[in-house]
């Protein structure tokens, strides 16, 4: 059985960080696509903090922060937080290396299963959508153009009311402009 290292996570200025000096194995996080490398620390997205906590890879979170309060506070800031978290956990469970990019409306960059995040290029961007909500064609068109500009496929992760996630590749977005001219009679 492989024992994964645990990390001390601090909350500084409303950000979750892993101090490199206090966490000598910080490079393992980057190798998994977790966190953003900054000078002297790794900055974590709240989704990554929840993931690490669920995998019991957090030794301590400073500032008396717990996972429930992270989920609660982030859900208040972002109505899609829970579906983003569900998609992230699903992708990780399926064995895909995932990196959070959070370029609205795109949230994840996903690599092939056998890829090395530090060396290989990702193949797709993920946009998370609830099946119960509509998505604007402008938002979809922007995401598709952004993905194509970066040489990646756009994939919609659609979470249904049962909690199941279905993934669809998006090849095109039909955008039609309509104008109406009204005459008073």
Q: What is the pLDDT of residues 1-22, one digit of tens each?
A: 567 788 999 988 889 999 999 9
Given a cut of 80, whether residue 56 has pLDDT beyond it is yes
Give the pLDDT of residue 180. 46
C-alpha–C-alpha distance, residues 158 and 177, integer Å: 26
- pTM of the full predicted structure? 0.88
What mean pLDDT do residues 117-121 have?
93
Take residue 165 and report the two structure tokens written for it. 């996630």
What residue ranges define each of the domains in the chain, with the CATH number in brackets? 7-72 (3.40.1170.20), 79-170 (3.40.1350.150)
SS3 54: helix
What mean pLDDT do residues 136-152 have?
92
Top pLDDT among 40 and 135 is at 40
Top pLDDT among 175 and 44 is at 44
- Residue 180 sits at φ, ψ, to 5 deg, of -115, 140
Given a cut of 70, whether residue 165 has pLDDT beyond it is yes
Percent of the chain surpassing pLDDT 90: 66
Q: What share of the chain is helix, strand, coil (3-state, %, to 5)?
A: 30, 30, 45
pLDDT band (50, 70, 90) for residue 67: confident
């Amino acid at each position: 059985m492989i024992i994964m290292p645990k990390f001390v996570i601090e909350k500084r200025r409303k950000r979750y960080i892993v101090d490199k000096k206090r966490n000598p194995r910080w490079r393992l996080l980057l190798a998994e696509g977790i966190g953003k490398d900054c000078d002297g620390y790794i900055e974590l997205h709240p989704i990554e903090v929840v993931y690490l906590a669920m995998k019991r890879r957090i030794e301590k979170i400073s500032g008396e922060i717990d996972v429930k309060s992270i989920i609660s506070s982030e859900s208040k800031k972002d109505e899609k937080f829970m579906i983003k978290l569900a998609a992230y956990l699903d992708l990780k469970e399926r064995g895909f290396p995932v990196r959070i990019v959070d370029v609205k409306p795109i949230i994840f960059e996903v690599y092939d299963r056998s890829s090395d995040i530090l060396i290989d290029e990702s193949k797709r961007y993920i946009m998370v959508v609830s099946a119960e909500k509509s998505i604007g064609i402008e938002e979809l068109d922007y995401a598709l153009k952004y993905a194509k500009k970066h040489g990646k496929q756009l994939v919609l992760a659609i979470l249904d009311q049962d909690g199941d996630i279905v993934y669809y590749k998006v090849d095109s977005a039909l955008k039609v402009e309509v104008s109406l001219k009204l005459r008073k009679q």
